[in-house]
A and B are shown apart, each in its own frame.
Chain A
Amino acid sequence: MLLIKNGRVIDPARAVDDDLDLLIDQGKIVELTRRNETHKREGVSQSIDAQGMIVVPGLIDMHVHLREPGHEYKETIKTGCQAAAWGGFTSIACMPNTTPSNDTHAVTDYILDKARGEGCVNVFPIGAITKGLQGESLAEMGELKNAGVVAVSDDGTTVSNSELMRRAMEYANNFDLLVICHCEDSLLVAHGVMNEGYTATRLGLKGIPSAAEEIVVARDILLAELTGCRIHIAHVSTAGSVRIIREAKSRGIKVTAETAPHYFSLSEEALESFNTNLKVNPPLRSVRDVEAIKEGLKDGTLDVIATDHAPHSSLEKEVEFDYASTGMVGLETALPLSLRLIQERLFTVPELVRKLTAHPAKILNIAKGTLAPGADADITIIDLSARKKVDVHQFKSKSRNSPFHGWELEGEARYVVVKGRVIKGPGGLAV
């Protein structure tokens, strides 16, 4: 048995925030008890002293690109899981834009098989909405669901044909599959590479208007209303999207939404450096948008913080800004960047933890994200005051494309437990 003692246990799913000890056996949480009631318990073979730390359900990242199969030089299921564990995540959902794409049960089987063999955290595949993510015909969602996908998405691109998206929602609904929407009107993006505004104008880079995102957010919400399908808006970046989602929620439409740490940590001005690690899709927006994203997180319009972890190698990034691929890695910086929202007094600790645990678990409908007795023993133990300088060369991810290199951040996952096994501790990764 594993005992986690002396920590402050926070389980937002059950409104627990208390000094408790946690007893774990055979991969499950056995019980939570008052401090010092358990330490003399027989059979405790291993114990972790969480004095001064918070003990929370294992963090869940519902938006990750693992790149395998097809782009193993950027990331593999193994290294992506290691990066997740290092960053405090015990469960990740991986997007289907691999090569081949995850549009068929054979690819889902492959991912799950690899994850069982080489992955140190729980991997939940997301299937494609359309075959080959081509936006032309429906993928075999029923078979994908049977194979184990937790949602469908054409993330990386928008299903631009509105009729096809409508049918996709109707069809997915039949299998109780969540549809995750990547919202971007590609014709309006028109080869833009950063947010439209003063910075783009000065740098001579082609801008992307906020409307390119908001038009599709609005469309997909209207289609969700039409079809009754449950949808989730990925990587919300603009004030307008927050406003549209807020209004939709107030009308009872079944929509949830996420944003990524870079959308509340960085704004477009940073691109003056022409640093291609800042090139991301949707693009970093204005200061006003950053404030709106924070407000959306605060008032619950944005349910989840997810990374959109998108590994790229120097081949895609050490090129001219116009030609660089979009995306940044996020698994190993998401937690301390999110904790800044506590330091800014936007959130209490439980409010923030909820967006990284209970909410994504509920949206993906997976039995994770809680420390209830009987639940899987996926646990993250966080030292809120650990100060660390981000060093991309220390990343467990295969890729280094983070714009946060050199940032001084506070808060770190000291221990990570997956199904009762300590995979991260003071000695590093035990995998």
Chain B
Amino acid sequence: MPLQSKDLLTIEQLSVDEITLILDTADSMKEISTRDIKKVPTLRGKTIINLFYEPSTRTRTSFEIAGKRLSADVINISTSVSSVVKGETLKDTGKNLQAMNPDTVVIRHAAAGAAKILADSLSASIINAGDGAHEHPTQALLDVFTMRERKGTIAGLQVAIIGDLSHSRVARSNIHALNKLGAEVVVYGPPTMIPPRIEMMGVRVAQSIDDAIRSADVIMMLRIQLERQSQFLFPSLREYSTFFGLNGERLTHAKEDVLIMHPGPINRGVEISPEVADGPYALILEQVTNGVAVRMALLYLLIGK
């Protein structure tokens, strides 16, 4: 069974079967990255364009490596050197890229719905690598892949997502993915960063961080986006880390086999203390490793046949 759409714009659009297909495919892709010669010819002759309107290290590199390990040609465009600085619209940029006949365009953009604009006007497969605070589907896929690898199954897990939910596309995509796969999702953060009616997305809003982590199998800490926070949302980083951060002391109240995840980049000492980030429960770097496998799987499923 292939994927239904030519694009991956949201987790919301995916069925459980499609998510499972991507995860199962990633299982078999993961081994390639451990070989001495990390390359297979699967996507030879295919062209992938990384179109990044926002800074990114992990996601852009991950897509580039995923494409190259499958032998695709990968081109990176970042906005500082593109026509965007000359005022070209997203739609025009997309049409120009389409004129060069790529197979996939991976887009990251600060505005929600940006990937959909490309998907609606290009025949290439569009992969959303993050659109504003809307969705970041490949991050959620690699997160559930990592959880599944460690816990065997997602169904029945309790996952706490803690931090700035308002601005987090990672949180939204994970909420959709985890709900679809049968996990129970609890969220917590400063009330200024919990968007209205989020419970309607199928989550419980916890009363305190201890309430959120007490029975959690997985704790996912979200990054405080220092670069875009207004000073109205919380009084200081010090107070934030006191009431909303995860540290070793707090973790003693959590389950013994709890897993700690973070989409990165982490703010050490703010939402997560160094001893937790580097500690035995943390899967932060495993998430990065798995990101390559999941993106290889996705590229293969979208343009490999």
Q: Write the residues of chain A forming the contact surface with B, with a CB cutoff of 8 angstroms.
A: 196-198, 200-207, 274, 318-323
B301 beta carbon closer than 8 Å to chain A: no
Q: Is the CB of A321 within 8 A of B196?
A: no
Docked-complex contact A205 and B89, CB < 8 angstroms: no
Q: Are B131 and A204 within 8 A (Cβ)?
A: yes
Contacts of B90 in A (CB 8 A): 319-320
| B interface residues, how many (CB within 8 angstroms) | 25
A125 to chain B, nearest CB (A): 34
Partner of B201, one of A197, A201, A274, A320: A201
- CB-based contact B196/A204 at 8 Å: no
Which of A201, A274, A320 has a CB less than 8 Å from the CB of B109? Answer: A320
Asked if B248 CB lies within 8 Å of chain A CBs, one says no
> Which of A200, A207, A321 lies at the interface centre, i.e. has the most chain B CB atoms within 10 A of its CB?
A321
User: 21 A–B contact pairs at CB < 8 A?
Assistant: A197-B196, A198-B197, A198-B201, A201-B196, A201-B198, A202-B201, A203-B112, A204-B131, A204-B132, A205-B112, A205-B133, A207-B196, A274-B112, A274-B113, A274-B116, A274-B117, A320-B90, A320-B111, A320-B113, A321-B111, A321-B112
**Known contacts A201-B196, A204-B135, A322-B110, then 13 further A-B pairs from the complex at CB < 8 Å, ordered by chain A residue:** A197-B197, A198-B200, A201-B195, A201-B197, A201-B200, A201-B201, A202-B201, A204-B112, A204-B131, A204-B132, A318-B91, A321-B111, A321-B112
Closest A residue by C-beta to B53: A320
Report B-chain residues with C-beta under 8 Å of the C-beta of A319: 89-91
Q: Are A203 and B91 in contact (CB under 8 A)?
A: no
Known: A202-B172, A204-B133. Contact between A321 and B197, CB under 8 A? no
Please encode chain B, from 102 to 144, with 1 for each CB lying within 8 Å of some chain A CB and 0 for all others.
Answer: 0000000111111011000000000000011111000000000
The interface residues of chain B lying within 8 Å CB-to-CB of A321 are 111-113
The answer to whether residues A318 and B89 also contact, given A198-B200, A202-B172 and a CB cut-off of 8 A, is yes
B111 touches A323 (CB 8 A): yes
B165: nearest residue on chain A (CB-CB)? A201
- Smallest CB-CB A-B distances: 8 pairs: A204-B133, A204-B134, A274-B113, A320-B111, A198-B197, A201-B195, A322-B111, A204-B112
Q: Is B169 located at the chain interface by the 8 A CB criterion? A: yes
Give residues 191-217 of B contacting A (CB, 8 Å).
Answer: 195-198, 200-201
Closest chain B CB from A276 CB (angstroms): 9
Which of B90, B111, B132, B196 gathers the greatest number of chain A CB atoms within 10 Å?
A: B111
Which B51-78 residues have C-beta < 8 A from chain A? Answer: none
User: In the docked arrangement, what's the CA distance between A196 and B195, Å?
Assistant: 9
Note all chain B residues with C-beta closer than 8 A to A204.
Answer: 112, 131-135, 169, 172
A203/B197 in contact, CB under 8 A:
no
Closest to B132 in A: A204
Instruction: Check A203–B196 contact: CB distance below 8 A.
Output: no
**Bound-state Cα–Cα, A197 to B200, Å:** 10
For B167, the closest partner residue in chain A by CB is A204
Task: List residues of chain B with CB within 8 A of the CB of A206.
Answer: 133
**A196: chain B residues within 8 A (beta carbon):** 196
Give Cα A50 to B201, complex, Å.
Answer: 54
Interface centre among A197, A201, A323 (most CB of B within 10 A): A201
- Chain A residues, CB < 8 A from B112: 203-205, 274, 321-322
On chain A, the residues within 8 Å of B91 by CB distance are 318-319
Cα–Cα distance between A17 and B91 once the two chains are bound (Å) = 53
Asked if B195 contacts A200 (CB within 8 A), the reply is yes
Min CB distance, B30 to chain A, in Å?
30
CB distance from B172 to the nearest CB of A (A): 6
Q: Complex formed: what's the CA distance from A321 to B116 in Å?
A: 11
Q: Which residues of B contact A202 (CB under 8 A)?
A: 12, 172, 201
User: Which of B113, B117, B197 counts the most chain A CB atoms within 10 A?
Assistant: B113
Shortest distance in angstroms between A329's beta carbon and chain B's nearest beta carbon?
A: 21
In the complex, A207 Cα to B91 Cα: how many Å? 25
Across the interface, which residues of A come within 8 angstroms of B110, CB to CB?
322
Residues of B within 8 A of A200 (CB): 195-196
- Look across to chain A and name the residue whose beta carbon is closest to the beta carbon of B89: A319
Known contacts A318-B89, A320-B117, A321-B113; is-contact A203 B134 (Cβ 8 Å): yes
